[in-house]
Structure 1
Amino acid sequence: MNSARTEEGGRSGRVFLVGAGPGDPDLLTVKAARLIGSAGLVVYDRLVSPEIMALIPPEAERVYAGKALGHHHLVQDEINDLLVRLARTGRDVVRLKGGDSFVFGRGSEEALHLAMNGIAFEVVPGISAAAGCSSYAGIPLTHRGLATGVQFVPGHLREGHRLDLNWDKLADPDTTLVIYMGLQSLPETTAELVAAGLPAETPAAAIENGTTPRQRRVLGTLADLAERTRAAGLQAPTLIVIGRVVALADRLDWFAPPMAEVPTP
């Protein structure tokens, strides 16, 4: 790929699309930790944990590009253009995203925009929220005899729209269903899955701030998880895990930060 040039004629900087993982800085890859620790310019998202933000050098320039439901600091097209503009100043850019940037992180959209504009980039994978948060909650995503596969789906609602998912395909008792950004739509999700044939007693969990000292989890079933999370006051970011593997959570619970377990209502 031919790198773009700055207005002064020099080579543009590179953009590193870095997955910051689900929150625990010990889960960063060696490459991610090295890039973060030596960064001079960081464009970061809302879901990057405070513990990982603390690894950025104090003198580094920080640019916030976070998005929360219904409140976008920058829309995605603006973020894409921002990365190009910053790279064309000749500086390297660390684009820091929670989890893995290619798993519901829109990292591929940013990479395509960089490629179309001749900006050199590298992708640094991160541990996904699904893998990290479920493990820290004592939930294996697959287990012999309980789950032979995993499905990842987004659960966020656009204003005025219903979730547009293939409920019949998702209501598979032999797979684990992981729902990103699914807290607000949880009542609809659980009702649709039961209507599609998944038993109401299927184990289910909600994991808030997974892998961090602020982690909390709520365990229940399809029938009552929405009410349990509401009663517990869980907030985003919360990952939803549905499937028979959730029944192992108590026996495999190895990570116990203060207030990690929400009392049963």
Structure 2
Amino acid sequence: MAINFHAEKNRFSYARRLVDVSWTAMIEKLVEVRGTDAVDIGCGGGIYTRTLAHLGAERVTGIDFSSEMLKGARSQTDGYPQISYLSGHALATGLSDRSADLVLQRALTHHLQDEQLLDCFAEAHRILRPAGVLLVQNRTPEDCLLPGSETHLRGYFFELYPRLVEREVGRRHKSELMIDSLRAAGFSVVEEHQLWETRKVYPDLEELAVDLLTRSGRSILHELSDPELQELVAHIQDRLLQIGVQEVWEQDRWTIWKAVKGDSSQGAV
């Protein structure tokens, strides 16, 4: 059964993980965050909202459609006066025109149908100031199908349960469509970058097992029954023991699209 983002029990599923330096280094390479008005659309538990604040954003607004996710986010951001949260949708944020310098949409677009991408990106374009930057991070079908390894554990999910492939790939958009939609929304410059983001480091296989069994931060695992999940954990542990892994550096492969809003003289909408 798919994860219910509105359920109280899932409030902290995307709220308590720390962001790795592999992500912050990539973001600092792509855009200057310090001093910006930043918006995190689809912020979930605010993990990356907080990180934008740590990177020096002057103001950060986290937007999500789930009141429970926002409750989890707010509970984790006491002492962050520059952060605020709003209930909203990627297609209708409720923010003013030209009110942001930077918009982040991380792990958002796979919740949208192909035909909704243009509206999603057009909304980001609307709230950005001229020369503002939109960063879209998600997995392409190619990112999803990489084999399992000592760092890429998701590959083992699909190795054991091939039925998950259709579910996972079916909700991911091809890069060509992402780029075409960004350009159609009015962005004048679009770049594509690949990122291996370290999700978490586990000192041993037992701690990895505990984390996997909670399904925390991994919506695809909500497609499995409890017995199936236990079987998957045993399968991953067996694979890692075969190659002599004890400490686990879990990484996920992502694609990041950087889109820049041109000024009015360039014809951007």
TM-score range, shorter chain: 0.3 to 0.5
Normalising to structure 1: TM-score of the pair? 0.39
Bigger Rg over Cα: 1
